[in-house]
A and B are shown apart, each in its own frame.
Chain A
Amino acid sequence: MPNPTPAVADALFELWVEDLGGSLDVAQEKLAEFVAASGVGSRPTYRANLVFEELVTNALKYGEMSGFRHGEPPRVGCTVRVTPTELVLEFRDRGRPFDPSVAPPPRRATTIDEATVGGLGLELVRKVASAIDYRREELWNVTRVHLLLVPD
């Protein structure tokens, strides 16, 4: 079955998140609107939201962002590109260097009694991504997550 053709080819969208409260909520809504309007279907839209939620939350909670000037809020930027074959989300933050593509997978519990869910967010991202690229640009972490456009 051929891949669906997005309504908007090579569309580009950028947003910034500064906190895990209202700013993340608003960004999630804008992201969902943009991706849905691109006509990529419900599964890529859902997965884009999942990747966005997990990576932005991780960066703001654990990124120890020291690269910002005094008084400037820590923040995470995300650029979204929709091509005919994939959806690409590029995240930028000034936290400590962190490459999510090589982070160790969480230990899988075999019973509910020993279950913990630390590291699960990154595991979910790795499950849905076709590729994850990371580079450090001066003070910036730049993480690019590729999502294949597959039929719903």
Chain B
Amino acid sequence: MEIQIDTSDPELRRVRLVGRLDSAGVGKVDLRFLASTAGAGIHSIVDLSQVAFVASLGIRMLVDAGRTLSAKGRKLVLVVPEGLVAETLRDGGIDQLITMVATDGEAVAYLAAA
């Protein structure tokens, strides 16, 4: 599991996760992920397009970040193309809690309108 963090925009954090968000993968990235999103306290776009698998622990990590940002009046948006990962997130009801879009452009547009 890899995490790539783009800090170039002071008002928007972009994080890309690459690999498997299972128990092993979450254990490798959760601290950096939460620090770079929830800890930064700015709108965050999390790109899951390179994530091949997500389990409940991975979903918990995303929800934790989304909840903390929401408490700070900020939003977390997931970029998730159609596929098995998006299907799992919907099965877990995450699409009802966190905005899921298919592209980075849609995520930016959503945050601009928010």
A residues contacting B by CB (< 8 A) are 20-21, 24-25, 28, 42-43, 46, 49-50, 53-54, 57, 108-113, 115-117, 120-121, 123-124, 127-128
Binding site of B, secondary structure by majority: helix, strand, loop or mixed?
helix
Q: Is the CB of A121 within 8 A of B55?
A: yes
Q: How many residues of B contact A (CB 8 A)?
A: 22
Chain B residues whose C-beta falls within 8 Å of the C-beta of A121 in the assembled complex: 55-57
Residue on A nearest B55 in the bound complex, by CB: A53
Residue on B nearest A116 in the bound complex, by CB: B63
B residues contacting A by CB (< 8 A) are 22-24, 53, 55-57, 59-60, 63, 66-67, 70-71, 84, 88, 91-93, 96-98
**A25 to B24 CA separation, bound complex (whole angstroms):** 7
Which of B23, B53, B59, B70 meets A112, CB within 8 Å? B70
Which of B22, B24, B59, B71 meets A117, CB within 8 Å? B59
**A28 to B55 CA separation, bound complex (whole angstroms):** 13
Chain B residues whose C-beta falls within 8 Å of the C-beta of A124 in the assembled complex: 55-56, 88, 91-92
